[in-house]
Amino acid sequence: MHELGIVFYIIRDVKKAAEENSVAHISAVVMNIGEVSTVIPEYLQDVWRWAADKEEILMGAELRCNIIPAVNWCDDCKTEYSAVEHGRTCPSCGSGNTWLLRGNEVEIKEIIVE
Amino acid sequence: MDQVKVIEIKKSVFDDNNKDADRLRAELKSRGVYLLNLMSSPGSGKTTTLIQLLSRIKDKLRVAVMEADIDSDVDAVKIKNATGVESIQLHTGGMCHLDAEMTRQGLDNVSLDSLDLVILENVGNLVCPAEFDTGSCRNAMILSVPEGHDKPLKYPLMFSVCDLVVINKIDVMPYFDFDLDKCREYVKMRNSNATVIPICAKTGEGVDALADWILEEVRNWKNS
C-alpha cells in the first residue's frame, strides 16, 4: 500500500525536474528499485498508471523499473554475497558481521523525453 | 525523426522527506519539545498502552498525543476521555504512513510551546511507517505477544529504526509460543542499541519502566 505514497513522491520530483529542464511532456520515468527495498514493482506500476494519468505532463508516461539485486558485504572476509539467498550470515566464513551494500534503492534514475 | 532525450535524476524518493524530517527535528530541539513516533501492527495495544503511560507521566511533564489513522477519530476521543490529555486526530487520506510534512501539519494544531512531549501514534503497519522519517526524536514500536517473537526477522527495517521495543500482552505469554529471550535476541540482531521493555497494558505491569524510559529521554533531550 505504501507504493501509492511513493508514486506521489515520484510525481512531485519528476514534475520539478521537467520544469527545470523546460520539458512539456515526459514519456517515461526510469526507476532503480532494490530487491529488498520493500517496494513491489507490480504494485508501483498499478498505482503509477492511475496517478500519472491525472497529470497532463505525465499522461500515458511509462514507468520502467530496473531491479537492483540485494548484495551484502562481509566485514570479516571482505567478500560480497547475495543478501536474499544467505541473509545476515556470510556463506564464505560464517560471520554475522555483515551489512547491506546495495539493494535498498528506491531511486529515480532518469526521465525520458521524446 | 523523433528525438529522445534522457535527463538523469539519480535521486532517492526519500531524499526530500529525510531532509524535511531533519529540519523538523532541529526545530523541535530549539523549542524544547520531544517527539516520539510510536509504531506497531493494528491491534497490538497502542492506544491502551498510551492510556496507561499517560496516566503515569501527565503530572510530570506537559504532553499531547497525535493519533494518525486512515479514517475515524475513535482513538483520539478514547485518549482524551480516558486521560484528559490533549489529543488530536490526523487523517492520512488513505496513505499507510505519515511523513515529515504531515507530522508538521499535525504539530501546527497542538499547543507546541506549552508542551514537553508529543507522542505520535502512527498508522498501524509494520512496513511503510518505518520508511518515512517523521522528524521524531526517537522511534518506538509495540510488538504484542500474539504476533509472535519472530517479527524482528520478518520486518527487519521496522526493528532497525526503533530505539525502543515494547512487548505488550505478556499476560497471555503462556498461551502462545512466544519466547521472550529469543525475541530479545532477534531485536538485538536488528539494532544492538534498542531497549526492550515487556509490559501488560491491560494490568499495568511493566508500564512504570516504560514511563521511566520516556521521562529520562525527555530530560536528556532538553538538557543536551
Identify all chain A residues contacting B16, using CB atoms and an 8 Å cutoff: 9, 12-13
By the 10 Å C-beta count (0-12 exposed, 13-18 middle, 19+ buried), B84 is classed as exposed
Is residue B174 situated within a structural domain?
yes
Which of B1, B10, B12, B13 is the mutation pick for testing A, counting most A CBs within 10 A?
B13
C-alpha cell at B223: 538538557
Is residue B2 situated within a structural domain?
no
Give the closest-approach CA distance of B4 to chain A in angstroms. 4
Interface of A with B in 24-83 (CB under 8 A): 38
How does DSSP assign B39-105, residue by residue?
EE-TTSSHHHHHHHHHHHHTTTS-EEEEEEESS--HHHHHHHHHH--EEEEEE-TT-SS--HHHHHH
pLDDT digits over B169-208, tens only?
Answer: 999 999 999 999 999 999 998 899 999 999 999 999 999 9
Is residue B1 situated within a structural domain?
no
Query: Does residue A84 sit at the B interface (CB-CB below 8 Å)?
Result: no
Residue B67's nearest CA partner among B118, B127, B113, B129 is B118
Q: What is the mean pLDDT of residues B39-62?
A: 95
Res. B1: pLDDT tops 60 = no
Res. B14: pLDDT tops 60 = yes
Average pLDDT across each block of 10 residues of chain A; the chain has 114 residues. List them in order: 87 95 96 92 95 96 96 97 92 94 95 94
pLDDT at B73: 79
Is residue B207 situated within a structural domain?
yes
ipTM of the complex: 0.86
What CATH number has the domain spanning A2-112? 3.30.2320.80
Residue A4's nearest CA partner among B20, B158, B99 is B99
Is residue B175 situated within a structural domain?
yes
Quote the strand ranges of B92-152, DSSP E: 117-121, 138-144
pLDDT at B141: 97
pLDDT band at residue B22, thresholds of 50, 70 and 90? very high
Query: Does residue A88 sit at the B interface (CB-CB below 8 Å)?
Result: yes
pLDDT at B158: 93
Residue B57's nearest CA partner among B77, B74, B34, B75 is B34
Write down the residue that cell numbers 529542464 correspond to: A21
Residue-averaged pLDDT of chain B: 93
Indicate which CATH number applies to the domain containing B214.
3.40.50.300
pLDDT at B2: 64
Q: What is the mean pLDDT of residues B4-32?
A: 94
Write down the residue that cell numbers 506521489 correspond to: A8
Give the closest-approach CA distance of A9 to chain B in angstroms. 6
Q: How many domains does chain B fold into?
A: 1
Is residue B7 situated within a structural domain?
no
Identify all chain A residues contacting B6, using CB atoms and an 8 Å cutoff: 110-113
Give, in order, the Cα–Cα distances in Å from B98 to each of A37, B74, B115, B136. Answer: 18, 18, 21, 11
- Domain containing B58 equals 18-223
Cα of first residue to Cα of last residue in chain A, in angstroms, is 31
pLDDT digits over B123-175, tens only?
Answer: 988 888 888 999 999 999 999 999 999 999 888 889 999 999 999 999 999 99
Helix H or strand E segment including A41: helix A41-52
Is residue B202 situated within a structural domain?
yes
Helical axes B46-57 vs B207-223, angle rounded to 10° = 70
What does the domain layout of chain A look like in residue ranges? Answer: 2-112
Identify all chain B residues contacting A14, using CB atoms and an 8 Å cutoff: 9
Is residue B10 situated within a structural domain?
no
Residue percentage of chain B with pLDDT more than 70? 99
Res. B220: pLDDT tops 90 = yes
Q: Are strands A98-102 and A80-82 parallel, antiparallel or unpaired?
A: unpaired
Res. B84: pLDDT tops 70 = yes
